[in-house]
Amino acid sequence: MKTNAARQLDKLGISYEVKEYEVDPEDLAAETVAAKIGYPPEQVFKTLVARGDRQGVCLAVVPGNAEVDLKALAKLSGDRKIELVPVKDVQPLTGYIRGGVTALACKKPYPVFLDASAERFPIISVSAGMRGAQILLAPADYVRAVSARVGELSRPKE
């Protein structure tokens, strides 16, 4: 199945692989997705939607085993204060449901901030734009596809 995210990568001539997995709607955690596709959680990146007080909506892409550092995201985005949007606002803003959010082919071209740890891997995994499918691609290709800014955005989960 081709998603809009895959179509965007095709249009840009970017090489990628799609990995499908069985979805448990009760457990959409990135760590669970990582186990299902056979990747370590730090290599499976989740896309979180945030809203800042100055710049508005942005996307933070962080490792599955980490939490976004909102202070670091605010600094990188040019906001004084930033917070994650409520789950009910995710689909109207992005066009994607929780567990399937991706910066690839998002409803609007929001600023994207990718955690610098992505550069440690030859391949990272991001949502394909639907639950049950992940896109595997080189971090540099992901950055090119979404024009992301890279920075230190995450901290270990407590």
What pLDDT, on a 0 to 100 scale, did the predictor assign at position 79?
A: 97
Residue among 140, 149, 84, 150 nearest 117 (CA): 150
DSSP state of 148: P
Contact 47, 143 (CB under 8 A): no
| Angstrom distance (rounded) from CA 129 to CA 158 | 28
* Helix, strand, or coil (residue 142): helix
Contact 53, 81 (CB under 8 A): yes
What pLDDT, on a 0 to 100 scale, did the predictor assign at position 101?
A: 97
Q: Which residues of 73-86 are buried (b: 16+ CB within 10 A; e: fewer)?
A: bbebbebeebebee
Q: What is the CATH number of domain 4-156?
A: 3.90.960.10
Contact 122, 138 (CB under 8 A): yes
- The CA R_g of the chain, rounded to the nearest whole Å, is 14
Q: How many CA atoms, within 13 angstroms, populate the side-chain half-sphere of residue 22?
A: 1
Token pair listed for 35:
């186990």
Name residues of the chain where pLDDT drops below 70: none
